[in-house]
Chain A
Amino acid sequence: MEDFWVFALWALKTWLCLLIGLIMVPAMFGFSLGISEAYMNILVKTLEWATLNIQKVTDERTLKPSASNGLIQREDGSMEKELEELRSSRPKPLVGGDFALSDCFYFTRKGIESIVEDEVTQRFTSEELVSWNLLTRTNNDFQYISLKLTLVYGIGIFVRYCILAPLRITLAFIGLSWLVIGTSAVGLLPNWRMKFWLSEWVHVMCYRICARGLSATIRYHNRENKPQKGGICVANHTSPIDIVILCNDGCYAMVGQVHGGLIGVIQRAMVRSCPHVWFERAEMKDRHLVTKRLTDHVNDKEKLPILIFPEGTCVNNTSVMMFKKGSFEIGATIYPVAIKYDPNVGDAFWNSSKHSMLNYLLRMMTSWALVCNVWYLPVMHQQEGEDAVQFANRVKSAIARRGGLVDLQWDGGLKRSQPKVWFKEEQQKQYSSMVVGDDSSSHSD
């Protein structure tokens, strides 16, 4: 018995030494020993090999190649054009409104198309993959293809759950506790230059440890455009991990609501060492107060750039949804950033209506890895004669183009609420003008 405990202690010690030597120290100073690169290389090779094998087998079984995205091809004609085509077979009446029983075909087809496939709800479920990536949580569930593949799948489970997961959980734990301890300690220092420097170092180090806890491989592009102090950094939002990804390359001031529990502890610790903008729940509703505190922060050139996700909700990383105008009203310099994850090695999207935060993190830690690209886009300013909404749209389009994402007008808030009646009324108005002609006789009502 005694021997067992000695051995356990020894194992734990070695484990921690290895952890500190191989991961913590490199993370502190931001260099890499090449272990994760080697792992990524093996992973990429394995997945390529698996894809090839799957294709070989499925090609034999069915004639069709693996399914591409999209279930239907939409008819994109405008209402005017479509209705004209529908009415072409009958003469236009001379008096009274123009209506044909076939007009409903247009709305019917639109409606059915949206039932089969729509632009909004699909953005809130995981992206469909073209080929199975040997994880059981994608659109392609476990499937028996060949003995070889099943073996690799089995080894994958072992590696992911028995080796990677404990390692990653330890790392995340260390990273987060370090964040709390480190920032609290730095918070005790007087406000010297040294403090800013130390605070930044502690932050970045913790995020680097956390990123390793997710086996994140992040490629930053156009670093010359990195957000500077006194500006606002806006990015598309896929999951809370976005923050870890961005903070690996520099510090940001966060904006958000004060939470309770574990997140609350971290928030309180962080705000001690450098100024973040946390709001109480009641304060969030007061738009003026929010705007004022953001403006104050931005005007202080000593303070870190603010990081904001203007979509206001997590989207599955295939598209960018409407940007809320709030952050664009302040008139600050905007630093757009596009983040694109590689869906083949792990699904980064946080489906918050389905998984709790902890559940999500565990899923991430048992995935293969996290690979993502971050593009820093050139600075953008509000142009003359452009209102906040137009400016927000312009920034959104730029991010969508750079990240290869679909640019959508829809509000991400639709995840939880119904669309505004206004949209329906717009369509009715448009249709009415086709019925009675453009001089809209609505006044007579």
Chain B
Amino acid sequence: MGSRASTLLREEEIEEIKKETGFSHSQITRLYSRFTSLDKGENGTLSREDFQRIPELAINPLGDRIINAFFPEGEDQVNFRGFMRTLAHFRPIEDNEKSKNAAVSEPLNSRTNKLMFAFQLYDLDRDDKISRDELLQVLRMMVGVNISDEQLGSIADRTIQEADTNGDNSISFNEFIKVLEKVDVEQKMSIRFLH
């Protein structure tokens, strides 16, 4: 129910999360209450099953990949800190954040980090490259049974061809950035958080 949410989260913790993610105090407490209501095991962490219990996410063609993005490699639990860190990628970029010196430390919601999130959806084996096979698998998740192997294969081939500049038949993160350079990533990979 998340009723005791605000009391269990210590002020210092909120401050730290605020610094790391850029969320406001009230956003953090409200997301914490959301976190606890998803936490059916009531152990302070979320498992993959906790996420899958959200019906809208369960029917999302890329639902499994999105859930996966919350879990660091080899782990199957995520705590509130990690949960917030992943969500922070989707904060809109505010004007005062743009002008900040990026060299200090890049905010989680920067254009590059947003693109990294998308890149990792395709990069199934986390080797920093999208191979033809990986692209095919993700495409299959999105289209289901509606498109033939042959046709999907040619789509994958063409996509890789368009992006691949060094001829290794796969897409690196730099190539990924280049292909999407004209896309309004800042807006399309952002969620309008209120308050």
Contacts and interface: CB of A to CB of B under 8 A. Distances in A.
Interface stretch (A7-15, A164-172, A186-194, A434-442): A434-442
Which of A90, A102, A436 gathers the greatest number of chain B CB atoms within 10 Å?
Answer: A102
A418 B53 CA distance: 7
Interface stretch (B14-22, B61-69, B101-109): B61-69
Contacts of B151: 96-97, 436, 441, 444
Which of A99, A418, A424 gathers the greatest number of chain B CB atoms within 10 Å?
Answer: A99
Which of B51, B59, B190, B194 gathers the greatest number of chain A CB atoms within 10 Å?
Answer: B59
A100 B180 CA distance: 9
Interface stretch (A106-114, A154-162, A232-240, A381-389): A106-114
A418 B58 contact: yes
Contact of B57 (A86, A93, A105, A114): A114
Nearest to A414: B55
Contacts of A107: 60-62, 66, 142
A97 B159 CA distance: 10
Contacts of B195: 64, 67, 71
B60 A111 contact: yes
B34 interface: yes
Given A109-B189, A419-B59, A99 B37 contact: no
A445 B145 contact: yes
A104 B142 contact: yes
B178 to A, nearest CB: 11
A440 B56 CA distance: 25
Interface of chain B: mostly helix, strand, loop or mixed: helix
B138 interface: yes
A104 B121 contact: yes
A122 B53 CA distance: 12
Nearest to A433: B146
B165 interface: no
A73 B194 contact: yes
Interface string B156-195: 0011000100000001000010011011110011111111
Contact of A96 (B30, B90, B154): B154
A90 to B, nearest CB: 7
A145 B31 CA distance: 23
Contact of B148 (A72, A111, A445): A445
Contacts of B31: 71, 116
Given A97-B151, A104-B121, A419 B3 contact: no
B96 interface: no
Contacts of B154: 96-97
Contacts of A67: 26, 30, 195
B66 A431 contact: no
A125 B37 contact: yes
A440 to B, nearest CB: 7
Contacts of A62: 25-26
Interface in A17-60: none
Contacts of B193: 71-72, 116
Given A71-B193, A113-B191, A125-B1, A427 B54 contact: no
Contacts of A141: 3-4, 6-7
Given A435-B143, A441-B151, 10 more contacts: A62-B26, A71-B27, A71-B34, A101-B180, A102-B118, A103-B142, A117-B34, A139-B3, A429-B146, A445-B148
Smallest CB-CB A-B distances: 4 pairs: A428-B144, A89-B182, A432-B146, A114-B56
29 contacts: A64-B26, A67-B30, A71-B195, A85-B184, A96-B154, A96-B155, A97-B154, A101-B163, A101-B176, A101-B179, A104-B62, A104-B121, A105-B189, A109-B189, A111-B63, A112-B90, A114-B56, A118-B54, A137-B3, A138-B3, A139-B2, A139-B33, A141-B7, A418-B58, A431-B143, A432-B144, A435-B143, A444-B150, A445-B148
